[in-house]
Chain A
Amino acid sequence: MTLLEAILLTVITASTPLLIAAIGELVVEKSGVLNLGVEGMMIMGAACGIVAAIATGSGALGVIAAILAGMAMAALFAALTLGLAANQVAAGLALTIFGIGLSGVVGAAHVGAQRAGIGKLEIPVLADIPFLGPLLFNQDPFVYASFALTAGVAWFLTRSKAGLVLRACGESAASAHALGYPVLRIRFLAILFGGACAGLAGAYLSLVLTPFWTSGMTAGRGWIALAIVVFASWLPWRAALGAYLFGGITILQLHAQGAGFRVPPQLMSALPYLITIVVLVLIMRLRRGGTAGPAGLGLPFVPDR
């Protein structure tokens, strides 16, 4: 394996959780809901995933537990923002604080407990292609899932009737309601989907990437996923591009630290956060201040009977 191959492989592992979480949030935002609790749902997925995997000895059950944990957190958020029309920004922050705390309690007994990662899924024949083979066709199942999700969501939003209805809820909830669509139910499903994706992304962190539990291990990845959605102008394939851009930066700074560049390691560690800010600014400049987001993003909707 060449150095380039090794670097590209680590870029894929760093980008996959970002992509999965960003795709989930993209669907949520397209339905007109801003869930800032991605970080909280993701870290709950990470904690519940590894605890369940250790308890049952099964990685698959760990992944399912993580998805369920993300969905449970999302349901809490939905109860507040849809059921009670609460402020979405504040509810998302509450979800993050709550998730970081609860994950610490859940994972307390398992800090540092090692377990074997989830194996690779080799696609026969294709994996033997030189260079591209091991890179594209000998990955863990999450990587395939992340691209399947991206393709599925891209198709769903632009090609299916249900996707059109979901987008209508995000552009103008009142119009969708007037047409007879159950806006709150559609938004609820979208929020649950977002929670499932965030949970899955969390499972990737604790079951594949590290693979062990430390409290606070998401380290802002949920927030970066939110930034990726903005960067992507709410387009799924551009979210994939964004996730790989950020994943690439994370890996690049790790390699730069390893190569002994005479730069403080803290500066390198700050790089992904600084670049997030720079990218947010650049993308807004390109759009000349206009937003590409759903018109009704973040506005609560209370149906009048």
Chain B
Amino acid sequence: MRLVLERRSETPLALRLGSPLLAVTLTLASAFVIFAAMGQDPLNALHVYFIAPLSDSWGLQEVAVKATPLVLISVGLALCYRSNNWNIGAEGQFLVGAMAGGWLALATHGAPDGPWLLPAMLACGALGGALFALIPALLKTRFGANEILTSLMLVYVAELLLDWLVRGPWRDPQGFNMPVTVTFEPEAVVPLLLEGGRLNIGTPIALLVVALLAVLVGRTLKGFEIRLVGEAPRAARFAGFDEKKLTWTVFAISGALAGLAGILEAAGTVRMLQPGISPGYGFTAIIVAFLGRLNPVGCLVAGVFLAVTFIGAENAQIMLRLPLDVTRVFQGLLLFYVLACDTLLLYRPRLVRGAHA
């Protein structure tokens, strides 16, 4: 018996919608087995991980708070991946965005400022992320350097830069030598949606970005260009689309969105700069993008699901003493299953009896 893949002439819609669901189901089944292997009651652990975060208003708000950066970053990455530009350095672009926006908050700290401050911070964050993302884009288009490696190396550089800033020039002098900046002033904090809640205006911004990108990809010439360059590069060249310019565009957009997510996180949730402001959003967003089938609305749904795993991990660490790394295992498995299920879209697998033909 061996597995043979036959190319499909067309993919049924049900399969296209069903394949991410199948991947999620397989991940949950694997989680069941892993929990049992770790000596946990699997049903209880699954409940703590995947259901409890959704069962009260505080948990739901927390899911939305965690989903916001994931969605913002992943819709940008989806544009990159669709056009065969492998930006895997969103984590670094997120941090640079937080630093660029945070710089403005710190520079105006204690000085009179007005309502212009927060929008300016968000703009700075997006600009910082975009410029940082343009480094691998430039190295790719100008020198042909592999963008996978350069964008990833820049993540380490951004982490070390943030570490240096909060331990050196930007450290809070009254911070008991902790590597943190001062807490941002109220004008420099992203306003809450509901008094006393956790949601801030970052979440509606993310929803707006999803809507905008859904229109861009589905309804505009630019979106067609992005899809064509990824799916049929030769045809795109004949059509006169400039591949290099497109690389710049998608890197700039995805960097800007990652940077925006970074400053929203720094000025909204954390309200200061410190190492570890991101629990790996930039890497998890890669999984979100694939689970969302590189589609903006899909990324929205997938972002919510992965946000649940982040909160589930925190709950499980407190209640079941499970290490946080378990979440990464699930996230990696999820991406495996997503990729495996995507094969079903292109090919019809058949088991064939006998040896090689």
Contact = CB atoms under 8 A, between A and B. Distances in A.
B158 to A, nearest CB: 9
Given A84-B339, A280-B149, A105 B139 contact: no
Contacts of B160: 266-267, 269-270
Contacts of A93: 88, 286, 335
Interface residues of A, number: 50
Contacts of B167: 266
A85 B347 contact: yes
B32 to A, nearest CB: 16
A7 to B, nearest CB: 24
A141 B164 CA distance: 38
Interface string B311-354: 00000000000011111111111011001101100110100000
B149 A227 contact: yes
A293 to B, nearest CB: 10
Contacts of B148: 36, 89
Interface in B1-21: 3-5, 7
Contact of A230 (B149, B324, B333): B149
A106 to B, nearest CB: 9
B221 interface: no
Interface in A54-106: 76, 80, 83-87, 89-91, 93-105
B40 interface: no
Contact of B168 (A90, A96, A101, A264): A264
B144 A289 contact: yes
A153 interface: no
B5 A85 contact: yes
A284 B325 contact: no
Given A84-B343, A280-B150, A305-B4, A270 B156 contact: yes
A83 B3 contact: yes
B357 interface: yes
B86 interface: yes
A91 B339 contact: yes
Contacts of A227: 146, 149, 153
Contact of A281 (B139, B154, B161, B349): B139
A218 interface: no
B4 A105 contact: no
Given A84-B339, A270-B160, A277-B150, A215 B168 contact: no
Contact of B332 (A99, A223, A273): A99
> Interface size class for chain B?
35 or more
A101 B139 contact: no
B334 to A, nearest CB: 8
Contacts of B290: 90
Contacts of A226: 149
A302 B7 contact: yes
A161 interface: no
Nearest to B335: A94
B157 interface: yes
Interface in A262-304: 264, 266-267, 269-270, 273-274, 276-277, 280-281, 284-285, 289, 291, 302
Contacts of A84: 5, 339-340, 343, 347, 349
B241 interface: no
Contacts of B3: 83
Contact of B153 (A80, A273, A285): A273
Interface in B125-174: 139, 143-146, 148-150, 152-154, 156-157, 160-161, 163-164, 167-168
Contacts of A119: none
A105 B34 CA distance: 11
Contacts of B327: 101
Interface string A189-225: 0000000000000000000000000010000100100
Nearest to A182: B356
B336 A80 contact: yes
Q: 4 shortest A-B CB distances, which residue pairs?
A: A98-B332, A101-B328, A104-B325, A94-B335
19 contacts: A84-B349, A89-B148, A91-B339, A93-B286, A94-B287, A94-B332, A97-B286, A97-B331, A97-B332, A101-B331, A104-B323, A226-B149, A227-B153, A264-B164, A277-B149, A280-B139, A280-B150, A284-B144, A302-B5
